[in-house]
Amino acid sequence: MSDLANDLRAALGATPDPEFTMELPPGWARHAPDQATQQQMLAGIKTRMMQAHRPDLFAQAQSMLKDSFESMRRGDVVAFFSATEQGDDTLWLPASILASVRRAQTDVTLDEVVRHAILEYDATALDDAKRIVRFERDALETVQDEQVRVLTVVYLTPIPGTQRRRALQLTATISRPVDMEADDPAIDAQRLLFDACVSTLRWLRPAR
């Protein structure tokens, strides 16, 4: 979980949530949605735009990156995963994974959230152990005045030691052209990839 959230929980005398790890596609890495990461990614984008002799696209990319980070901060995202490592094997995809914490509300428990997902989105267990619940949503969105289809795959799993009061939510977003179906082989391949990654999720013991 985020250092800030865990520091706050520790200050209040609560046990910090355990950290988690999972396998990622080649060239993907975990990042914090903070200002330092935003500036680092912006510098990388600027370098690539200059190398491609397309400085005209930098302002648009800067605006999209700013909107993305602001959206993550509003959504209480604690980490995100994307292709950022330059390399011959890096798997560049129009997709990312966001990690956030879902908390039980006074009138809505996490178990009720899962039941709603089962009824509304046909949520199913990702693995035989039924420790991770998975469901999808597909929507038409407008990005920089252009319409795209965005497939959202959501994974929910209880955070150990929280008595099912908090859950880790991993949200994979896959963008595609409006004329590409959600069951296109290229989209199915990304589904399988993210399912495989999330299935490797494991919780880390806190350092003593």
Per-residue pLDDT of the chain (208 residues; tens, 9 = 90+): 555 555 544 444 467 889 999 999 999 999 999 999 999 888 888 888 888 888 888 888 888 888 888 989 888 899 999 998 888 899 999 899 999 999 988 788 888 999 999 999 999 999 888 899 999 999 998 877 789 999 999 999 999 988 889 999 999 999 999 999 999 999 999 999 999 999 999 999 765 5
Q: Could you tell me where the beta strands, DSSP code E, fall in the chain? A: 20-21, 28-31, 77-83, 95-103, 124-125, 133-143, 146-158, 166-176, 202-203
DSSP secondary structure string for all residues of 111-140: HHHHHHHHHHH--EESSTT--SEEEEEEEE
CATH of the domain at 150: 3.40.1000
pLDDT at res. 10:
47
* 147 falls within a domain: yes
* 177 falls within a domain: yes
pLDDT at res. 97:
96
* 208 falls within a domain: no
Domain extent for 117:
3-203
Q: Whole-angstrom Cα distance, residue 160 to residue 18?
A: 7
Is residue 99 within 8 A of residue 170, CB to CB? The reply is: yes
**Phi–psi pair at 170, nearest 5 degrees:** -110, 125
* 158 falls within a domain: yes
* 53 falls within a domain: yes
CA torsion, ordered 43, 47, 48, 51, to nearest 10 deg:
170
Task: Provide the domain count of the chain.
Answer: 1
Q: Whole-angstrom Cα distance, residue 10 to residue 167?
A: 18
* 67 falls within a domain: yes
Q: Whole-angstrom Cα distance, residue 194 to residue 17?
A: 24
